[in-house]
Amino acid sequence: MVIHLNKSVGKEQAEELGRKYESICFNDGTRYVLVTTSKVKEADATLKAAAEATFVTDTDIQLAGKQYMNDTRSIDFGVVSIGGANNNTLVITGPCSVESEEQIEQASALCLELGVKVLRAGAYKPRTSPYTFQGLGLEGLKLLDKMRTKHGLKIITEVRDSTHVDEVIEYADIIQVGAKAMYDQGILRKCGKSNKPILIKRGFGSTLQEFVQSAEFVLSSGNPNVMLCERGIRTFETKTRFTLDLCGVAWLKQYTNLPVILDPSHAIGYAYGVADLSRACIAMGIDGLLIETHPNPKVAKSDAEQQLNFEQFRALYKSMGAVASAVGRKIV
């Protein structure tokens, strides 16, 4: 159960109630909020007296659920926002990894040319093998920071593990929690202490319940700015890298209040299918798309096969508006 305490309830009293009802207690900027396990279905007299509103939830998808908040949360990136009352579909693009200043300058130039406002690129890469390119680390973050200052782009980059979570939170405008880090509660809780937007990617072996519950760790630590990213799950199929779970996306839209971003690049794993998948995703009425592009995918240091070259991305970008407007949305 989620309990909105009366605005007159101060920190000390809220924390005391939190302890008494074995619940998480945080301030949402307007009031103190308690969250008990979802097994609690009724407030007793003491809680009722202190509460302004209570929300009963079926499962531990609580703060992220429609039973708590019916509208999709609005996430503001400064230059543009998604969710809430608008019907924006945000396009995010850039290479899998920051590889050099020249490469990330080229990626920035593509964004500026098309009017894409958010540049993506990993500095700390969660590679499957320790022997492949692991990312430029702090040097990569500094290059992204340079692109932000020089070109006014917003930057999204990923946290791989706890060793650099503070650094990424400091440098990024949007913090990406990668598929392999989705279960890392240390990272999630730290992201919950920031107020920057957090994009959580679905672990490729995670159920929707587990996926959304990872968002609950961030939300219940006090950060309301959480987005979910479907990036493909592992199935029996081996011809494609993963399987993009569009049924899951429909479920997320139906039952959660979090904006949903889709990543067709990691899902299929091959550039040939990214444009078709992107348009299919837009047609589902989603809040954003994350697409990998590289000035020369053949020599990319990570995810070479799935990155679009700039010509391919330009053509895809041009085709997006018509699909978006067919479903009442706008590409931003």
The binder of 126, among ligand PEP, Mn ion, none, by C-beta within 5 to 8 A per type, is ligand PEP
- HSE (CB half, 13 Å, CA atoms) of 226? 32
By a kind-dependent CB cut-off of 5 to 8 A, residue 231 interacts, out of Mn ion, ligand PEP, none, with ligand PEP
| Residue position matching structure tokens 């996306």 | 249
Our CB check for ligand PEP shows the closer of 23 and 176 to be 176
Which residues form the interface with Mn ion (CB under 5 A)?
96, 303
Residue 51 or 143: the one with the smaller Cβ distance to ligand PEP is 143
Closest CA to 201 of 232, 219, 177: 177
Token pair for 161: 């593990």
Q: Looking at beta carbons, which residue is closest to ligand PEP? A: 178
**Among residues 96 and 156, whose Cβ is nearest to Mn ion?**
96
Q: Which of the listed partners (Mn ion, ligand PEP, none) does 137 bind, with a CB threshold of 5 to 8 Å by partner kind? A: none
Q: Which does 329 bind (CB under 5 to 8 A by kind): ligand PEP, Mn ion, none?
A: none
Q: Is 61 or 300 the residue whose CB approaches ligand PEP more closely?
A: 300
**Which CB, 4 or 241, lies closer to ligand PEP?**
241
Task: Classify residue 307 by burial, with Cβ atoms within 10 Å: 0-12, 13-18, 19+.
Answer: buried
Sign of CA dihedral 83, 84, 87, 88: negative
Q: Shortest gap between Cβ of 150 and ligand PEP (angstroms)? A: 23
By a kind-dependent CB cut-off of 5 to 8 A, residue 201 interacts, out of Mn ion, ligand PEP, none, with ligand PEP
> 3-class SS at 255?
helix
Closest separation between CB of residue 266 and ligand PEP, Å? 5
Residue with smaller CB distance to ligand PEP, 4 or 160: 160
275 binds, among Mn ion, ligand PEP, none (CB under 5 to 8 A by kind): none
CB of 320 to Mn ion, least distance (A): 21
E-assigned strand segments in the chain: 2-5, 24-27, 32-35, 51-55, 75-76, 81-82, 88-94, 118-120, 154-159, 174-177, 198-201, 226-230, 260-262, 288-292, 330-331
User: Would you call 33 helix, strand, or coil by DSSP?
Assistant: strand
CB of 158 to ligand PEP, least distance (A): 6
Binding site for ligand PEP (CB under 6 A): 96, 122, 126, 158, 178-180, 201, 231, 266
Least distance (Å) between residue 263 CB and Mn ion: 9
In terms of CB distance, is 97 or 194 closer to Mn ion?
97
Nearer to Mn ion, 184 or 303 (CB): 303
Alpha-carbon gap, residue 46 to 211, rounded angstroms = 34
179 interacts with, out of Mn ion, ligand PEP, none, CB within 5 to 8 A per kind: ligand PEP
CA distance 109 to 152: 11
Q: Which residue has the closest beta carbon to Mn ion?
A: 96
CA angle in degrees (0–180, nearest 5) for 18-23-25: 60
What span, in angstroms and rounded, lies between the C-alpha atoms of 101 and 265? 23
CB of 199 to Mn ion, least distance (A): 14
